[in-house]
């Protein structure tokens, strides 16, 4: 017999043994949610509930399989112990019913389409209707299907979704609706179900076929739903149809919903937080159980996460706590700019990799492009990383396109880049591109003239490349010319999402602002960061959007760009529900940390178009917190980090013992600066106490901070942070 109480805390044990009636388990981050479900599966079976009468609904098949496997091992009989339990996704459950009884309006026999099938059908409908013919800006088939799916899952009109997410496609909203209506008719006539039809088809079947609903209710006496905060409206209605709600004064069906309203961050997919918040109101007699003991993070980190949630408007109140009461207080770091932020984070990562291993360090951000500066810094420092939730910026097609122009400007013999540029010309294929390139390299003016006459846009491209080659090799002015030329090409090649891609290109120019030489910029940008599987390439630091990091954990976590317009995003400031979801997103990010948590608030953000750095406003979520939940550190003009009201340290230096020991300050102080260091590049010796400024061929102008005998200097470069450089490579400013 399993000794449940010795392996579960009191709240978990209560959730496990509450088998009958509706139960809502609020599982805070790191509170042992999966363990609770696993033990409850075993407990129900041992209490006589037949496995075949249990339905376990999850959001991934892998999650269900893992839970059933662990429950079987717990019972000592392996997977066979729970043979008969139906565990899987909502969609898999729906298909298991619909393959025997199709939804109303469909033929007796239906087949399930995958995404490729759906695109083929939509493409055929589009061709038959003659919509978008000759219009290169017309939305692609995949884009139409994506918006249609979002509209269905959010249960909003299609034109509303287009307005919210793709304003540049508003002129095509009517045509998109026409195609989607025809697509729906085609599916019904041909007996084809797409992914979303499974849920809506099952709901329609349950509502129009009481016998099928009764059979399902009879078969599944106990329903368990994981991650309930991520359910959309139709999934919530399906659960209600399966178990009933009970009448006021009586108990509803045997359903356990497990989730955390504070981790509801997928509204863009259709998830609706009201499903979990109103669960007790709709399922009469619901027993509410809170799992608040955290097994992941230290108490100082939890104090900060609790402070984040304390200001939430609609929530189930809970207070996470941990037996791990020691540990460093979370750090709130204020770099001088978003550019120096990258260098500070990079140096902290180097320290933590030595302490914990690279696989235990993560940097989280709101949007994929926020990590661009850091990717450059990590590449330059030789730190291996893997990125999740968005491409590495150098892998995106539009970034590669723009960089190809710059590469050819630096090296006219760069054949792959020239081919990439010429491929942007309509009518030029690989053979023509190769012929034109070979003619250019051979000085064959006759062939060049012939081909450019046939393809005038190629002539314009070659003229641009000549202008780039004749200009000073400073990357920002060169990229500005490139982007002006590339903009109409971008809109033609990527009509569906060119505004988003333009943002990435603007960020690329911002990165280039820290360079004086295009060749060095290209070298730093294209230093390869190996992306082999972990078994081959070894462990790596994780860079991830917060959405992609949910469910994961690391010993050290950095969260960057915590300023208004970036976190929360500008769009989220317009609607209260979006603003609150951003708050939950920050909570999810912070609760990924086990031992160390660092929050970064750049003091200024560089505005490329105005060539200035503007003051940045800290995220409102940080402004709401009490200062007692973090230590504040600020970057000085000398490149050193100083604790607000404390002493300075260098980024990346080793922290002292945790605060509990009181043996030393949380950061080691930097070494004193010698008053009379040797000269730089044969220059006159500086005045005592003033090391002055210098220039470096790669990093540009920098402030001399410290002499490192016998022949090195520590220099703070505004765009790169602190660097240790040999004196012979520095030129003092007079």
- By CB atoms closer than 10 A (0-12, 13-18, 19+), residue 287 is middle
The neighbour count for residue 250, using CB atoms within 10 Å, is 10
What span, in angstroms and rounded, lies between the C-alpha atoms of 277 and 231? Answer: 12
In the three-class reduction of DSSP (H, G, I as helix; E, B as strand; rest coil), residue 412 is classed as coil
Report DSSP state, residue 264: -
The two structure tokens encoding residue 409? 């400007």
33 annotated among ligand-binding-site residues = yes
Cβ–Cβ < 8 Å for 716, 694: no
The span from the CA of 395 to the CA of 372, in Å, is 12
On whether 31 is known to bind a ligand per the annotation, the reply is yes
The verdict on whether residue 453 carries a ligand-binding annotation is no
Q: How far is 194 from 122, CA to CA, in rounded Å?
A: 12
Structural tokens at position 123: 């493409």
Q: How many CA atoms lie within 13 A of 617 on its CB side?
A: 9
The rounded distance, in Å, linking the Cα atoms of 73 and 67 is 10
Contacts of 396 (CB under 8 A, 6+ apart): 501, 504
- Nearest of 520, 545, 113 to residue 371 by alpha carbon: 545
Is 670 assigned a ligand-binding role in the annotation? no
Radius of gyration of the chain (CA): 30
Would the annotation count 32 as a binding residue?
yes
Judged by phi (left if over 0) then psi (alpha if -120 to 50, else beta), residue 390 lies in left
Q: 140-149: buried (b, 16+ CB within 10 Å) or exposed (e) per residue?
A: bbebbbbbbb
Asked, as a colleague might, if the bond just before 710 is cis with ω within 30 of 0, I would say yes
Q: What distance in Å separates the CA atoms of residue 261 and residue 227, rounded to the nearest whole number? A: 9
The string of DSSP codes covering 288-305 is EEEE-B-SSS-HHHHHHH
**Residue 27 marked as a ligand binder:** yes
Asked whether the beta carbons of 292 and 318 are under 8 A apart, the reply is: yes
Establish whether 60 is an annotated binding residue. Answer: no
Q: How far is CA 481 from CA 413, 661, 677, in A?
A: 21, 57, 44
Query: Which residues are annotated as part of the binding site?
Result: 27-34
Query: Which residues are annotated as part of the binding site for ATP?
Result: 27-34
């Amino acid at each position: 017999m399993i000794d449940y109480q010795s392996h579960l805390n009191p709240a978990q044990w209560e959730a496990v043994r509450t088998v009958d009636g509706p139960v809502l388990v609020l599982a805070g981050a790191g509170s042992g949610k999966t363990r609770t479900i696993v033990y409850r599966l075993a407990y129900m079976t041992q209490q006589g509930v037949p496995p075949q009468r249990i339905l376990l609904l999850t959001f991934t098949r892998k999650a269900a399989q893992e839970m059933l496997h662990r429950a079987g091992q717990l019972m000592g009989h392996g997977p066979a112990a729970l043979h008969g339990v139906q565990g899987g996704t909502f969609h898999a459950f729906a298909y298991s019913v619909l393959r025997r009884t199709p939804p109303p309006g469909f033929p007796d026999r239906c087949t399930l389409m995958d995404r490729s099938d759906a695109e083929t059908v939509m493409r055929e409908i589009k061709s038959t209707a003659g919509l978008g013919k000759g219009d290169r800006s017309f939305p692609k088939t995949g884009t139409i299907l994506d918006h249609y799916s979002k509209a269905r899952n959010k249960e909003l009109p299609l034109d509303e979704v287009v307005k919210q997410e793709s304003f540049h496609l508003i002129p095509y909203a009517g045509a998109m609706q026409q195609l989607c209506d025809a697509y729906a008719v085609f599916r019904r006539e041909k007996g084809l179900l797409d992914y979303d039809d499974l849920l809506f088809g099952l709901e329609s079947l349950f509502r129009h076929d009481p016998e099928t609903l009764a059979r399902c209710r009879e078969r599944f006496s106990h329903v368990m739903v994981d991650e309930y905060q991520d359910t959309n409206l139709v999934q919530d209605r399906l659960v209600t149809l399966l178990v009933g709600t009970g009448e006021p004064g009586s108990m509803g069906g045997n359903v356990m919903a497990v989730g955390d309203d504070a981790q509801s961050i997928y509204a863009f997919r259709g998830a609706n937080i009201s499903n979990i918040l109103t669960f007790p109101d709709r399922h009469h007699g619901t027993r509410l159980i809170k799992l608040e003991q955290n097994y992941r993070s230290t108490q100082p980190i939890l104090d900060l996460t609790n402070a984040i949630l304390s200001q939430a408007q609609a929530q189930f109140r809970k207070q996470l706590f941990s037996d791990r009461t020691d540990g460093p207080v979370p750090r709130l770091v204020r770099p001088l700019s978003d550019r120096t932020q990258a260098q500070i984070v990079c140096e902290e990562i180097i320290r933590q990799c030595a302490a914990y291993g690279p696989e235990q360090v993560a940097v989280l951000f709101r949007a994929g492009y926020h990590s661009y500066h850091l990717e450059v810094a990590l590449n330059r420092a030789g730190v291996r990383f893997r990125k999740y939730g968005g491409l590495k910026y150098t892998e995106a097609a539009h970034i590669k396109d723009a960089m190809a122009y710059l590469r050819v400007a630096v090296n006219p013999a760069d054949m792959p880049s020239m081919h990439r540029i010429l491929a942007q010309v309509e009518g030029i294929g690989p053979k023509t591109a190769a012929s034109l390139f070979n003619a250019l390299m051979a000085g064959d003016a006759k062939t060049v003239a012939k081909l450019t006459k046939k393809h005038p846009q190629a002539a314009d491209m070659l003229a641009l490349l000549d202008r780039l080659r004749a200009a000073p090799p400073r990357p920002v002015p060169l990229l500005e010319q490139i982007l002006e030329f590339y903009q109409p090409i971008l809109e033609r090649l990527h009509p569906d999402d060119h505004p988003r891609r333009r943002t990435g290109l603007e960020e690329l120019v911002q990165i280039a602002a820290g360079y004086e030489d295009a060749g060095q910029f290209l070298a730093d940008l294209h230093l390869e960061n190996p992306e082999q599987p972990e078994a081959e390439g070894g462990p790596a630091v994780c860079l991830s959007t917060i959405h992609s990091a949910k469910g994961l954990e690391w010993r050290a976590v950095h969260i960057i760009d915590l300023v208004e317009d970036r976190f929360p995003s500008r769009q989220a400031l317009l609607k209260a529900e979006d603003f609150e979801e951003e708050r939950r997103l920050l909570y999810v990010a912070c609760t990924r940390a086990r031992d160390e948590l660092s929050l970064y608030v750049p003091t200024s953000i560089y505005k490329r178009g105005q060539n200035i750095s503007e003051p940045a406003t800290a995220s409102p979520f940080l402004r709401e917190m009490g200062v007692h939940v973090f230590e504040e550190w600020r970057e000085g003009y000398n490149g050193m980090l100083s604790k607000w009201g404390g002493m300075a340290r260098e980024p990346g230096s080793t922290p002292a013992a945790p605060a509990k020991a009181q043996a030393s300050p949380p950061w080691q102080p930097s070494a004193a600066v010698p008053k009379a260091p040797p000269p730089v590049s044969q220059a006159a010796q500086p005045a005592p106490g003033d090391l002055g400024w210098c220039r470096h061929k790669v990093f540009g102008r920098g402030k001399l901070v410290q002499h490192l005998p016998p022949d090195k200097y520590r220099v703070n470069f505004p765009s790169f942070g602190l660097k240790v450089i040999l004196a012979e490579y520095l030129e003092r400013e007079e």
